């Protein structure tokens, strides 16, 4: 009898997995058909029956099991008072930045690095300039800063061309520092990651600059003084 129950249980599990796989394929096909330009990442069941969690770039959406309906928003566990979507988004952001790679960022690193943040910056943004003017203070706190460009005026703007010129400079860090002080960098063009930075900013739904992304993928929108940022990063590091 126990053997029969075990076989039935295994059969049911196999059926469940087959249905889940079928739903995943249906969702992928439906999204590819309706939004061919969208590159779908992972597709897996969400905490709500019949609703699947779909990653697209640095974003998470929820889609019905037939791929017909898409829900944009955050899933919250009311009883636990936990934003489930935000918890997962931090992991998605972390992976996206790691995938981009250090060779596509301008990195300012102290002698002894305790923390690392990635910052979306705009050369012509006032608070971005303030933050960079205090770069030595961030270095003193042991904070490595990885810069990505997000010219808010858009592609083709003066800020965009400045970002390209800084990237193409012989000394990117020196060029960025000069540009942050108000100097116009000598116009240069080369193969650059600025468009990738901007796409990532769009995926992360960046609304303003600077936007700070921590090692765990959490976000601090806006300028934070070095000491305050170090304290926040220490708190994050201490969390399990």
Give yes or no for residue 165 having a pLDDT over 90.
yes
Sheet architecture: strand order including 106-108? 106-108, 143-149, 115-121, 211-214, 219-221
The number of C-alpha atoms within 13 Å of 189 and in the hemisphere containing its C-beta is 3
Whether the link from the prior residue into 117 is cis, omega within 30° of 0, is no
Give yes or no for residue 28 having a pLDDT over 90.
no
Q: Residue 217 carries which DSSP code?
A: S
62: tokens are 């929820």
Lowest mean pLDDT segment, chosen from 8-12, 65-69, 86-90, 193-197: 8-12
Distances (CA, A) of 49 to 42, 53, 54, 144, 211: 17, 11, 14, 42, 35
Mean pLDDT of the 147-163 span = 96
221: confidence class by pLDDT, cuts 50, 70, 90: very high
Q: What is the pLDDT of residue 70?
A: 87
The β-bridge relationship of strands 51-56 and 59-64 is: antiparallel
d(CA 87, CA 90) in angstroms, rounded, equals 6
Residues forming beta bridges with residue 43, ordered by sequence position = 54
Mean pLDDT of the 75-84 span = 88
User: For 16, phi and psi rounded to 5 degrees?
Assistant: -60, -45
> Is-contact 99 105, C-beta < 8 A?
no
Q: Please list, in sequence order, all residues whose beta carbon lies within 8 angstroms of the beta carbon of residue 72, skipping any fewer than 6 positions away.
A: 61, 62
Structure confidence by residue, pLDDT tens digits, 177-204: 999 999 999 999 999 999 999 999 998 8
Mean pLDDT of the 147-176 span = 97
Active-site amino acid positions: 122, 125, 128, 152
Q: Please list, in sequence order, all residues whose beta carbon lies within 8 angstroms of the beta carbon of residue 215, skipping any fewer than 6 positions away.
A: 94, 115, 116, 117, 233, 236
Q: Classify the C-alpha dihedral 118-39-206-91 as positive or negative.
A: negative
Q: What is the overall mean pLDDT for the chain?
A: 87
Q: What is the pLDDT of residue 19?
A: 41
Structure confidence by residue, pLDDT tens digits, 92-116: 899 999 999 999 999 999 999 999 9
Q: Please list, in sequence order, all residues whose beta carbon lies within 8 angstroms of the beta carbon of residue 2, skipping any fewer than 6 positions away.
A: none
The number of C-alpha atoms within 13 Å of 32 and in the hemisphere containing its C-beta is 9
> Is-contact 182 156, C-beta < 8 A?
no
Report helix, strand or coil for 12: helix
Number of other residues whose CB lies within 10 A of the CB of residue 51: 16
């Amino acid at each position: 009898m126990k053997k029969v129950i075990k076989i039935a249980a295994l059969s049911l599990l196999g059926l469940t997995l087959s249905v889940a796989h079928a739903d995943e394929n249906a969702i992928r096909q439906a999204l590819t058909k309706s939004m061919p330009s969208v590159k779908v990442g992972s597709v897996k069941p969400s905490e709500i029956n019949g609703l699947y969690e779909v990653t697209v770039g640095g974003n998470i959406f929820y889609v019905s099991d037939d791929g017909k309906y898409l829900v944009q928003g955050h899933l919250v566990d009311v009883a636990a008072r936990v934003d489930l979507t935000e918890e997962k988004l931090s992991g998605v952001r972390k992976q996206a930045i790691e995938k981009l790679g250090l060779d596509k960022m301008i990195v300012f690193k102290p002698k002894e690095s305790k923390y690392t943040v990635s910052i979306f910056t705009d050369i012509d943004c006032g608070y971005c300039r303030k933050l960079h003017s205090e770069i030595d203070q961030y270095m003193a706190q042991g904070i490595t800063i990885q810069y990505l460009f997000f010219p808010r005026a858009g592609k083709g703007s003066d800020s965009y061309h400045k970002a390209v010129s800084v990237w193409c400079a012989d000394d990117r860090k020196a060029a960025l520092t000069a540009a942050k002080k108000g100097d116009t960098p000598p116009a240069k063009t080369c193969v650059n990651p600025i468009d990738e930075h901007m796409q990532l900013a769009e995926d992360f739904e960046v609304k303003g600059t600077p936007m700070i992304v921590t090692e765990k993928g959490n976000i601090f929108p806006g300028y934070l003084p070095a000491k305050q940022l170090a304290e926040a990063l220490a708190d994050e590091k201490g969390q399990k």
